[in-house]
Structure 1
Amino acid sequence: MTRQVLVTGATGYIGGRLVPRLLADGFAVRVLARSPQKLTDVPWASEVEIVPGDLHDLDSVREAMRGVDVAYYLVHSMRASGDFEEDESGAARTVAAAASEAGVSKIVYLGALHPDGVELSRHLRSRVAVGRILLESGVPTVVFQAGVVIGSGSASFEMIRHLTEVLPYMPAPKWVRNRIQPIAIRDVLHYLRAAADLPPEVNRAFDIGGPDILRYGQMMNGFAVEAGLRQRPIASLPVFTPWLASQWVNLVTPIPRSLAVPIIESLQFDCIVREHDIDGVIPPPEGGLTGYRTAVRLALTKMRDRTVETSWRNSSVDGAPSDPLPSDPDWAGHTVYTDVRERSSAASPQSLWRVIEGIGGERGWYSFPLAWALRGWADKLVGGVGLTRGRLDPDHLQTGDAVDWWRVEHLERGKRLRLRAEMRVPGLAWLELSVTPAEGSGAIYRQRAIFFPQGLPGRLYWLAVLPFHGIIFSGMVDRIVLDAERAEQEEAERAEHGAG
């Protein structure tokens, strides 16, 4: 018989990655979502039952709990103000009451590692309180107390990512010297999934963490190494209060202050595993727990592999736990700058494509030749390839061909050409040119420049060239469309003249 599972927090980072693993293992999954529209584009939306509701509404929680065997509680408020502690405790009491009433056999909750014998931050204190309420519900409950979760989309990991990428030097609070035991997202999901099969006599909290105990500063420099950045000098400054540090994080990263405050408040203590009892209940994953640097590498690899495809169009993705999801927040993932332009053309898709495939070399780049030439000379001066390579064939391209300082990375003949920049820039750059048939007749030309900045120099570089984009890229769009239309017209005139 198929077991019914309820997941709360499916629009969040952990829940959105747990659901497909439960589905793959044959569970019938129901999700309770206050904003079901956030799940529209996730790849598993059609495979689950989505129940609109709020954790403070007992009736909607009762409806969601109907027939449920295991309930996952993966919700945590990350507000910087307001009486969120009472709100969270109230929601936990509602879930506990509805689960008990419905005869749920197990509740699984993800809390946070915390030290004993100190005054906890409000957010850590709230997580401890929620775990206690669920453990006392009368329903067998497993509470996992996890360290910083490492994976693209995790708020704590994204803060590490953006701080390290942006700042060549780190003025930091004294908590950068605190010890932390991070855990990879894939290992968190391993424990959450396995908890569904634990016997009913297991009713307790377990500490979980990865194999590495690091200082927060070491985590930032470990990220730098994996991201191909220089390690950052870090100065611990006692004047940085939690409030001031959160303002600083909000200023130099896209992390909202409402998230930065609770994260930083929770970093005031050492957060490491105090007991390893989980090993006697749930064995570690096959191959062992994932080390910090490996977890960072996986997150960065997934983002680099997929961001070119997903960051500028809303497409569904699935796969490894490190993969991005459409429900992830805007500030999650690698920083990406884009320049996107689109134009309708009277020319046919075939005529437009001939111009696209013939770009570069002797034909040039259809806009502001002097600017392209100057950029090519500048690239040569710093040891780059410049614009002198040209192209092998003036009319046709193959994947891997050089086109001046670009390389053909992806080619769908007649549809899309993606070029990867091989010039010397502080980051990674692409130029994508595509054509689609328009309704009735004609075609739509679309052009996208994409840049992944590397550190602060990459961001400054983008800002420096931004004024020229309005001239260069808009000119490219106009000239490419015009050339296609002119070539088609000339072809039609020749055909008419020949017929005459």
Structure 2
Amino acid sequence: MNILVTGATGYIGGRLIPRLLQKGYFVRCLARRPENLSDRPWNTSEHSVEVVAGDVLDPSSLKLAFVGVEVAYYLVHSMSAGEKGFEDRDRRAAKNFGEAARQAGVRKIIYLGGLGEERGLGEELSPHLQSRHEVGEILRQSGVPVTEFRAAIIVGSGSISFEMIRYLTERLPLMICPKWVLSRCQPISIRDVLAYLLAAVEVSASDNKILEIGGRDVLTYADMMRRYAKVRGLHRLLIRVPVLTPRLSSYWVDLITPIPAALARPLIEGLKNDVVCRRREALEIFPFQPMGYEEALRLALDRSSQGSIETMWSGAESSRSSRLAASIQIREGMIVETRQAEVHAAAEKVFEVVASLGGARGWLYANWMWTLRGLFDRILGGVGMRRGRRDSRSLQVGDAVDFWRVEAIEKNRLLRLRAEMKLPGRAWLQFQLASEQGVSRLTQSAFFEPKGLGGLLYWYLLYPMHRMIFSGLCRRIRRLSEGMS
């Protein structure tokens, strides 16, 4: 079966595509910039996948994308382009998509919209939710059978609504909250959303249906924040006030979280509405039970295994510059500080230097600062720098390296160290190597997952020192490696 997916660069589309491929479907992805999908692990010749250039706002670009397609997923939202005029962009995009699907003879459109229902005067839906519902109606007007799923907050890394709750709870021990924190919500795990989206391909009983989907728990937003704090071991106090408007709230969200005010405002306006499943048809059509909020939350936050960590880390762009290329990203609650260097030496030589860090050799740059950090850690009851390392030249998973522990190692390719010093959060230091024709690309990444506002303040206060230390370390690794060659 041939399937078209829009929104492939989004967090839902990006997770849906590999699952469709696992089921043996041929998947075509529509993207405005196909090059943005070039490094996805599923976008290889080994998989039945094709990426085509196109834009739902440009009807002339859709004809080729729909050739031979039987099922099409509509997973795009114009709000990401900015708050102003997103309703009109959504209307035009849905009309173009529906018409192209009709002309191509598509059997079914699967659309993920927003949960919510008007319940009388004074309880109108927000413009954001009204637009989500209107898109579903426009798709149905095309004449193509539509399965419309309506969901509230999706509990999964990358969901903008969930990330807003995550950042606010993580960073603010005392929260001044507007009255919308008492609105009721039925959050659903990203795993359950994907299960519904996948099953709808083959389940004809879902055709021409509006299906409300949610997890097992109905909670207020205040409940969600408190349970998040409980799972993370945080103590949070919520004080409700009646005067915080959506505009003021959006500016506060813009300040505290990575979400800009232009995106936060339409979302916050929607929080005034109760978003609870009132019809059980989805549970009757699809034979599985969605999980509860805390289970979904723990899955979203679980980064203890190597696989979980790697799915949330973003790869840095390659660099062929002789200078260090540095960047900082804040993604899914993790601060990632990355440096890249071109090293004129084989990967084996670079890895030999990296794998010998710590212990008697030290850390190559500003050793006195590493020693001072170790002393401070011992004062706080931590392990300090006294452990050294098992062997001066070789490492294996589980080895202690001063106040780090080896979490992953692949010879000549990867070394990841997990911090075991006292910290208001969790931290890793990682070195990755790629080599081509005797020239290596060294990617050095420092990861920090702050715990609460204290963790965030710790990172900002120490960033100038970390910047100096890690930049110096990267330069010294390059210099020593090239000297060995």
Are 2:138 and 1:130 aligned? Answer: no
Which consecutive unaligned segments of at least 5 residues does structure 1 have? 316-329, 490-500
SS in structure 2 opposite 1:110?
strand
Within 5 A, what are the aligned runs for 1:159-238?
A: 159-199=164-204, 202-226=207-231, 228-238=232-242
Q: 1:312 to 1:101 in 2, by over 3 A?
A: closer
Q: Greater relative contact order (Cα 8 A, min sep 6): structure 1 or 2?
A: 1
Instruction: Determine the structure 2 residue equivalent to 1:141.
Output: 146
- Provide closer, same or farther for how the CA distance between residues 217 and 93 of structure 1 changes in structure 2, counting only shifts above 3 A: same
Residue 270 (str. 1) matches residue 274 (str. 2)? yes
1:4 aligns with 2:9: no
Answering whether residue 25 of structure 2 is matched by residue 51 of structure 1, we say no
1:276 deviates by 0.5
Structure-2 separation of matches of 1:281 and 1:349: 54
CA contact (8 A) 2:357 2:363 kept: yes
CA distance in 2 between counterparts of 1:379 and 1:259 reads 41
* SS of residue in 1 equivalent to 2:116: coil
Whether 2:247 is the aligned partner of 1:250: answer no
Over 3 Å counting, the alpha-carbon distance change for 1:417 and 1:243 in structure 2 is same
Structure 2 match to 1:150: 155
Q: Deviations over 1:442-492 (max 9, x none)?
A: x77664433222222122112222222344334444555666677x69xxx
Q: Counterpart of 1:449 in structure 2: which amino acid?
A: A
Equivalent-residue separation in structure 2 for 1:84 and 1:15 (angstroms): 20
CA contact (8 A) 2:339 2:474 kept: no
Q: How does 1:294-373 map to 2 (within 5 A)?
A: 294-301=295-302, 305=306, 306-307=308-309, 311=313, 313-314=315-316, 332-338=331-337, 340=339, 342=341, 344=343, 353-373=351-371
For 2:432 and 2:145, how far apart are their aligned partners in 1? 56
CA RMSD between the two structures = 3.0
- How far apart, CA to CA, are the structure 1 residues paired with 2:413 and 2:50? 37
> Match for residue 116 of structure 2?
114
The alpha-carbon deviation at position 416 of structure 1 amounts to 4.2
2:343–2:481 Cα contact (<8 Å) kept: no
**Counterpart code for 1:196:** V
User: Which residue is equivalent to 2:420?
Assistant: 422
Q: Distance in 1 between matches of 2:387 and 2:334?
A: 30
| TM-score of the pair, normalised by structure 1 | 0.84
Residue 391 of structure 1 corresponds to 389
Structure 2 distance, partners of 1:276, 1:450, is 43
- Aligned-partner Cα distance in 2 for 1:301–1:241: 34
Q: What SS does structure 2 have at the residue aligned with 1:409?
A: strand
The answer to whether the 8 A contact 2:338-2:443 is kept is no
Larger Rg: 1
Distance (whole Å) between structure 2 residues aligned to residue 355 and residue 68 of structure 1: 52
Task: Rate the CA distance shift 1:198–1:444 in 2: closer, same or farther, 3 A.
Answer: closer
Report the 3-state secondary structure (helix = DSSP H, G, I; strand = E; otherwise coil) of the residue aligned with 1:205. strand
Contact 1:407 1:419 survives alignment (8 Å): yes
Aligned-residue offset at 1:403: 2.3
Does structure 1 residue 19 correspond to structure 2 residue 17? yes
Cα–Cα, structure 1 residues 340 and 430, in superposed 2: closer, same or farther, change >3 Å?
Answer: same
Aligned residues of 2:149 and 2:213 also touching (Cα < 8 A): yes
Pairing 1:463–2:460 present: yes
In the TM superposition, what whole-angstrom CA distance separates every residue of 1:189-232 from its partner, at most 9, and x where no partner exists? 22222222233794231211111101111112222333x23132
Structure 2, unpaired ranges of 5+: 318-328
**Structure 1 198/469 Cα, relative in aligned 2: closer, same or farther at 3 Å?**
closer
Cross-structure match for 2:373: 375
Structure 1 residue corresponding to 2:27, chosen from 26, 29, 39: 29
